[in-house]
Amino acid sequence: MKINCIGTGTMGSITRGNQCILIDNIIFDIGSGVVKKLEEKKIRTKDIKYILITHSHADHFADLPNFLIGRSIRNENNELLHIICGKGMREKTIELFQLCFGDGEKDKYKDFEDKFNVKFVELENGETFENNEFKITAYELEHGGCKPILGFVLEKDGKCVGYATDTVLCPNVKLICQRSEIAFLDANSITATKSHMSLNEVINMQNENKNCMICAIHRGDYEYNKNANIKFPEDGEIIEI
Ligand SMILES: [Zn+2]
Ligand SMILES: [Zn+2]
């Protein structure tokens, strides 16, 4: 399995783009700037069939209009796109489109699914989405007052990939690491905040989960100990497991 680290930064990072990883036709998060990064890699919107969205903050969500409208303009929307997210995200998505492109038309997005050929799959803690290629389990995380906030475990090709950002260190982060061969964790800053894990907490997850390769993502531009026993993927890096 190839995991393409499209964006690995937190907001405020100069050296890294907003959060996004790509596995085959699935992307995790679609923050502002992600679509251009995909296009630079010759990955077209028609190549993506599933978008997993952790939460509605702009650095994880705000490029969805760019993605869906660009896909429509280029007639790349013949196949259904699944948007897998937390409860209420469909409504937030329509609010975002209405704000950006409503142009005074009150009901412009009432037939959102038909207009963009998408299906929302809203999951709660522990719920799964499954087809004959993969299975996704949602895990509720803790990210200040932001709700819903989900992490995911993707089971595909006999491998488990964990994804937990943005979040403080909570029991479900530990569960995601225990289940996964590789886990991408929120290493926003050196010290923990009310909404994010610290780099040291991420390093500790590696110490507690020897069978899981821990990757520090959603990183600010801080200096870090390059000898730490975890991965620090950069934008554009491909990890093979
Ligand atoms: Zn956030
Ligand atoms: Zn974020």
Q: Is the predicted pLDDT of residue 228 greater than 90, yes or no?
A: no
Q: Is the predicted pLDDT of residue 20 greater than 90, yes or no?
A: yes
- pLDDT, tens digit (0-9, with 9 covering 90-100), for 164-206: 999 999 999 999 999 999 999 999 999 999 999 999 999 999 9
Q: Which residues of 10-49 are buried (b: 16+ CB within 10 A; e: fewer)?
A: beebeebbbbbbbbbebbbbbbbbbbebbeeeebebeebe
- pLDDT, tens digit (0-9, with 9 covering 90-100), for 206-218: 999 999 999 999 9
Q: Is the predicted pLDDT of residue 240 greater than 90, yes or no?
A: yes
Q: Which of 133-142, 195-204, 218-227 has the lowest mean pLDDT?
A: 218-227
* Residue % of the chain over a pLDDT of 70: 100
Q: In what order do the strands lie in the sheet with 134-140?
A: 128-130, 134-140, 150-156, 159-164, 182-186, 213-217
Which ligand neighbours the alpha carbon of 59 most closely?
2
Alpha carbon of 236 to ligand 1 centroid (Å): 22
Q: Is the predicted pLDDT of residue 111 greater than 90, yes or no?
A: yes
Q: Where are the domains of the chain?
A: 2-240
Which ligand neighbours the alpha carbon of 146 most closely?
1
Alpha carbon of 78 to ligand 1 centroid (Å): 32
pLDDT of residue 227: 78
Which ligand neighbours the alpha carbon of 167 most closely?
1
| Gap between the Cα atoms of 95 and 61, Å rounded | 12
Alpha carbon of 24 to ligand 1 centroid (Å): 25
Average pLDDT over residues 34-39: 97
Alpha carbon of 167 to ligand 1 centroid (Å): 8
Residue 226 confidence class, pLDDT cut points 50, 70, 90: confident
Alpha carbon of 36 to ligand 2 centroid (Å): 18
Alpha carbon of 219 to ligand 1 centroid (Å): 12
Alpha carbon of 60 to ligand 1 centroid (Å): 7
Q: Which residues of 74-101 are buried (b: 16+ CB within 10 A; e: fewer)?
A: eebbeeebbbbbbeebbebbbebbbeee
> Which CATH architecture does the domain made up of 2-240 adopt?
4-Layer Sandwich (3.60)
Alpha carbon of 9 to ligand 1 centroid (Å): 12
Alpha carbon of 33 to ligand 2 centroid (Å): 13
Alpha carbon of 114 to ligand 1 centroid (Å): 29
pTM: 0.97
| Gap between the Cα atoms of 225 and 199, Å rounded | 10
Residues in Cβ contact with 214 at an 8 Å cutoff, skipping those fewer than 6 apart: 177, 182, 183, 185, 202, 203, 205, 206, 230, 231
Q: State the helix-helix crossing angle for 89-101 and 64-73, rounded to 10 degrees.
A: 70
Alpha carbon of 94 to ligand 1 centroid (Å): 19
Alpha carbon of 192 to ligand 1 centroid (Å): 14
Which ligand neighbours the alpha carbon of 168 most closely?
1
Query: To 5 degrees, how large is the angle CA 223–CA 52–CA 235?
Result: 30
